[in-house]
Structures are given as structure tokens and as C-alpha cells.
Amino acid sequence: MRANVNKTNAIYKPPTLPASARLPVNRCNLPAVILGSLTYQRHPVPLEIDGISHFHDDLFRTLATFPTHADRAQRFQDYMTVNFLLDELDEAGLMPGRGRKSRANANYLRQVRGWSFDSDGREGAVLKRWVESRFGLLARHHAGSLADRNSEVYQRYISDGSRGLYATNALESQLDLLYTYCQYELKREYPEQTHLTLYRGINRMDEHEVQSTCESDLQCVLLNNLNSFTSARERADEFGDYILETQIPLPKILFFNRLLPGMLKGEDEYVVIGGVYEVSINTI
């Protein structure tokens, strides 16, 4: 059953990203006010983090010579290990000490798996703060609302993100390259597509910020700056009484379960960068 939607006779204007949900600067080719808007969802263009494709051009030239996804995934992981000295911690400058083991595990794979286990945990805070830095989209929720910058919830979010990055080996740069590799693979897998239809199960509508009634029978919702979706509607049913269905631009997919071997728990999980989205809200 489709959730009720109130309509008006006013002239419809696609909602933009509220100023409270964005930063004035970021590190990609579009400002947050554009890439977080409904217009971007409808008419996406590629997003590029500053300098990453150019700096790692040799990796992507090499990947183009591998015909299978599995071979490319292995080559990418090998490149990450060598380029970021993930198996050579002493050369990376990690000193002996009590925190050595935990810092040794603080790499891009640990962040992804930590997100899958608990998106409100330390790894989730690192990923959300990375989205803030690279795309300028502010987190809206992390174990509670982040609307009040003076709240204990917000301070804990900042603390978790900072502790998660402390003494790591260029962790944010690892995430930059993970996103860029994900975009490379999506372009190869879906050369003629701009969007994927994805689903998200939720229990309470008041956990999401409804901006306005969209055209037709859809609603415009401001999502958190990072969110889990699934490509299987029956999987979304397992996570709540309401199902959000929407068209996700490929450039807003940070990673997905099939990108690397054993990457996520969910068989059909996609981790999606937020902003304003036009969604269909259905009840189970």
C-alpha cells in the first residue's frame, strides 16, 4: 500500500539541498548544493574527487587490461596493499606500542566491514566524515540526530570520527581510491545506465527529513549523507515497515557488496551518498 501524499496546486519547484545540510567547500568537481539536490538525482554527471584519477592513472590503465571483474578486484587490492604499505607498517611510520594492532587494522576494508556491522559505530563515523570532507554533505544522523552541534550525540560523532582516523595510514586517501575504483567498475558493468533502482527499509518515517511533496505521487526526502540500500526489495522488507524506493545515480554509490570479495554481509547491499532524493514510500 502506498503512503498518503498531500498535493498542492502551487507551482512545483524542485527542492534544493538546505544550507544546514552542506558545507561551502568540498573536494570534488561539483559543489554540495548541486550534487545534493533533486536536480542532480534526475540529471547526474560523473563525480570526481580532486586529483585521484590522475594521481593513480597507472592503476586504471592496468585495470583496463583485465577482462574479468575478479581479476580487476584482485589487482586493486594488491595495489592498495603496496601503495599504502598495508603490510609494511614500520615503513609506513607506525611505531610499536599498545595501539599497534588496532591501528594496523584501520584500513579501507575495516571501515567497510565496520559499516556493515554498525553504521553508527566508529567506522561509520569515519565514513560519514569522509563524505563531509569530499562531497560537502553534512551527516544528519549518527546514533541520534546531529542537528544540535552542541549536543552530546554530535560531540560523540566528532570524537568517534577523529579517533577512527588517528594514526592511520592515509585512511581518507584509501577511501578516495575505493570510491574511484567503485565508479570505474560501475561504468564497466552498466555502460548505458545512469541510475539503479534501490530500496531501503525503515521503521519510522520521522527518522527521515521529508522536504516537500514532489511531482506525481512521490515525496522528496533529505537522506543522511551515507545510507545503506539494497537492490532486492524482499531484503528491504526485513528492515522495516516502510520501503523507500528510489532511483540512485551511479556516481552516488560509494561501494557495494560485489565490488570486492567478502566486502559486505548483505548480498545485495549498496552504500549510497545522500542528499535530496525523490522517493516512493510504500508500506509492507
Domain limits, the chain: 19-45+194-283, 52-189
Measure the CA–CA gap between 138 and 141, rounded to whole angstroms.
Answer: 9
Measure the CA–CA gap between 157 and 97, rounded to whole angstroms.
Answer: 26
Mean pLDDT value across the chain: 88
**Per-residue pLDDT tens digits for 172-211:** 999 999 999 999 999 999 999 999 999 999 887 766 788 7
**Per-residue pLDDT tens digits for 47-82:** 999 999 999 999 999 999 999 999 999 999 999 999
DSSP H or E segment with residue 142? none
Prediction pTM value: 0.90
Alpha carbon of 56 to those of 50, 175, 178: distances in Å? 12, 13, 12
**Per-residue pLDDT tens digits for 24-51:** 999 999 999 999 999 999 999 999 999 9
Q: Which pLDDT band, with edges at 50, 70 and 90, does 107 fall under?
A: very high
CB 176 within 8 A of CB 134: yes
Question: What is the structure's pLDDT at 41?
Answer: 97
Measure the CA–CA gap between 274 and 220, rounded to whole angstroms.
Answer: 12
Query: Does position 232 have pLDDT exceeding 50, yes or no?
Result: yes
Question: What is the structure's pLDDT at 1?
Answer: 44
The three three-digit cell numbers of residue 235, written as one number: 531484503
Burial 125-156 (b: 16+ CB within 10 A, else e): bbbbbbbbbbbbbbbbbbeeebeeeeeeebeb
The winner for highest mean pLDDT among 27-31, 84-88, 214-218 is 27-31
